[in-house]
Chains A and B, each alone.
Chain A
Amino acid sequence: MANIPLKVVHQYLRHDKKFPHVWCAGCSNGIILGAVVRAIASMELNRDDIVMVSGIGCSSRMPVYIDLNTMHTLHGRAIAYATGVKMYKPHMKVIVITGDGDCTAIGGNHLIHAARRNLDLSVILVNNNIYGMTGGQCSPTTPHQALATTAPFGNIEPEFDICKLAIGAGATHVARTTAFHVTEMQRYFQAALEHDGFSLIEVVAACPVIYGRLNKKGGAPQMMKEFRDNSVPLTAVDKLPPEKVEGKIIRGVLHQETRPEFTKSYADLLERVQTMGDK
């Protein structure tokens, strides 16, 4: 994995536009933005051929800062807009930046159907376990019993396992990491961009100002330490006793398979239909 100097990262940012960014101090979104840029830079992709689409939420503010073709769309609909882009120009790399509420609550339908089609989108799902932008309401990934402004007595709902959801729906490349594991994150982003099919990378992220404060997680450094200590790489899961795995964040490429990619299937259909007409 190429080591990308900060100078190069800066070339990918829209400095003269809308900085400083909107994120709180200690937010993981900046770390993730850096990893996305380094992944793109190290792959030496043509920037004009990358489209970054996002929905609504804290993480979805990311595209405005990166000098790519960018689209900041409606709440939950990033994947639907990305579907239009990818279907019309299949050679373009389409990255979707979305959050846990954006992608699995309001946008859950688009997630499962894009996964089912195996459309070549690289979905980066920033999971901070809460609705940060609106001030701390519980999301489908807020842990059971955790506090949120709309769950003041503890969340009684069970939470989604996003990766399992994506695998069940048919995603062909699914991985999970945390905001602490930056180089791993960059590696996973590169793998997602290289994968020919629907890929979803769940990044467990820290929201110290809202989720952390409500749930007494300490500040950003404490939350990062928790990601370090409370996560287990997939390769180590089998070697560890079950009690050491229980309740931990499992990191790693959780699923990888080869299945016909949707724009390729569509191209095959076009060829079939058009040669049919010649006979």
Chain B
Amino acid sequence: MSKTESKTKKTTKKAAVKPSAKAEVKAKAKAEETKTQPESKIAELQQDRERKTVIMQGNEAVSYGALDAGVDFFAGYPITPSTEIAEILAEELPKRGGVYIQMEDEIASICAITGASLTGAKALTATSGPGFSLMQEGIGFAKITETPCVVVNVQRLGPSTGMPTSPAQGDIMQSRWGSHGDSPAIVLYPDSVKECYELTIRAVNLSEKYRTCVVLLLDEVLGHMRESVTLPDMGNVRIIKRIKPTVPPHWYKHYDENQKYLSPLASYGEGYRFHVTGLTHDQHGFPTNKNNEAGDMMARLRKKISYNIRDLVQIESYMMDDADIAIFAAGIVARSAKAAIAMARYEGIKVGLLRPLTIWPFPDVAVRKMLLDVDTVIVPELNQGQMINEIRRLTKDKSESDVIALQKVNGELISPAEILQKIKEAI
């Protein structure tokens, strides 16, 4: 982790502090829409769904985001509160010629999407805490074999079966460290239904670009909450596809070091006849026990993420310019925080919000800047302290008392009033 930090220091603050997710999928004029002629069946169907403002659930937004990102393979297992994603895709994927399959469990689901992805699919699965725990070994396999796939985890209160229909943010650390061994993670965290749509597309894009398993963390209430969303014109949605090899098969390296950690990926059936293994492997993908090759492989997995922090990290900085107190919150808790900020500002207290859209890799640069700029940081979260320790990790030049915890794990949301109370206590 220390290497990652030193690298982030060098990255420009400008890029890390800018919320650019919205730029990626900005809605454009309707006139544009009529101009584009439907080329395939898929394009036609996408235009059929009227791109006006609609009311939808977070889970629905994830489903349509996945379809718009080009996902054509879904394998899953029913689990509250993520089931709607499977239900919608069971109906929509066959219409578009994609594959939907209900597997026998979540382990099989992550394995099937990884297999399909190696065969050329854009693949996604959706689950919740218990299923996410079952998937961890498979997520590790997707990471070591550098196979693109997306896992949506609509979090519920745990441990174990917990409260299936109540919100919690207990999987923040699991999404980072859940799989055994060191395996850097890309994890995105939306705070609204619109952002569910946008970040699903981004998750699929990042998985294709970085050849890894990307996790999208949702809060239970966000999955089931209905909000109005204006879906963008498809012409303005940026879709990234994996790079395909152009070399003849005997030159192909499944993990090509010459490509700045973003190497081309062949699919089964294209003549490349490569080997993938969960064992530590060399550049061609064949198992190795040589320490130098094992070290290179592990370094590659880490550098792929740490060298691209600027591309990966997205944060929202809200009313932070003049803030004395900052709130650091992710997902649905950030919505409560914004309401609390409005109430506090009405009373003349200068409070701002820093919100990670990319929670892993952690936005170290932005958090360090925040810690220097404000006197107090309040970290409200729906767990017993997961994000707050990441903030404390970065407070070496400030005393710990400046970071205040606000934690709740009873199945209820943190209300704006509770955050406001903490703000007042902090003054």
Q: A residues within 8 Å of B by Cβ?
A: 14, 17-18, 47-49, 51, 53, 56, 63-64, 67-74, 77, 80-85, 87-89, 92, 109-110, 113, 266, 269-270, 273-274, 277
Contact = CB atoms under 8 A, between A and B. Distances in A.
Given A64-B277, A80-B108, A74 B138 contact: yes
Given A82-B115, A84-B115, A84-B123, 18 more contacts: A68-B273, A69-B272, A72-B279, A74-B137, A83-B111, A84-B112, A84-B119, A85-B119, A88-B119, A89-B120, A109-B105, A109-B108, A110-B104, A110-B108, A266-B99, A266-B101, A273-B95, A274-B95
Q: How big is the B interface, by class?
A: 35 or more
Interface stretch (B22-30, B194-202, B263-271, B369-377): B263-271
Given A64-B275, A84-B75, A71 B118 contact: yes
Interface of B: 41, 73, 75, 94-95, 97, 99, 101, 103-105, 107-108, 111-121, 123, 137-138, 141, 268-279, 284, 286-287
B97 A84 contact: no
Contacts of B141: 73-74
Given A81-B114, A83-B112, A84-B116, A69 B75 contact: no
B277 A80 contact: no
13 contacts: A48-B273, A51-B269, A69-B272, A70-B276, A71-B118, A72-B276, A72-B278, A73-B278, A77-B111, A84-B75, A84-B111, A89-B268, A113-B103
Contacts of B94: 269-270, 273-274
A279 to B, nearest CB: 13
Nearest to A269: B94
Given A74-B138, A273-B94, A63 B275 contact: yes
Nearest to B123: A84
Contacts of B272: 69
Contacts of A47: 273
Given A74-B111, A84-B75, A84-B113, A89 B269 contact: yes
B100 to A, nearest CB: 9
Contacts of B275: 14, 63-64, 70-72
A167 B95 CA distance: 34
A273 B108 CA distance: 26
Q: Which of B117, B120, B287 has the most CB of A within 10 A?
A: B287
Given A18-B286, A270-B97, A81 B115 contact: yes
Contacts of B116: 84-85, 87-88
A35 to B, nearest CB: 20
A48 B271 contact: yes
Contacts of A266: 99, 101
A67 to B, nearest CB: 6
Nearest to A49: B269
Contacts of A18: 286-287
Contacts of A69: 268-269, 272-274
A89 B97 contact: no
Contacts of A48: 269-271, 273
A88 B99 contact: yes
Nearest to B267: A89
A17 B103 CA distance: 35
Contacts of B119: 51, 84-85, 88-89, 92
Contacts of A71: 115, 118, 275-277
A48 B272 CA distance: 8
A77 B107 contact: yes
Contacts of B121: 84, 88
A11 to B, nearest CB: 13
A71 B284 CA distance: 13
Contacts of A82: 115
Q: Which of A17, A82, A85 has the most CB of B within 10 A?
A: A85
Contact of B101 (A56, A70, A87, A277): A87
Nearest to A106: B107
B287 A64 contact: yes
Nearest to A18: B286
A200 B270 CA distance: 27
Nearest to A263: B99
A63 B99 CA distance: 27
A270 B120 CA distance: 19
Contacts of A274: 41, 94-95, 97
Contacts of A53: 115
Nearest to B72: A88
A84 B114 contact: yes
B73 A84 contact: yes
Nearest to A273: B94
Contacts of A85: 115-116, 118-119, 268
B109 to A, nearest CB: 8
B287 A88 contact: no
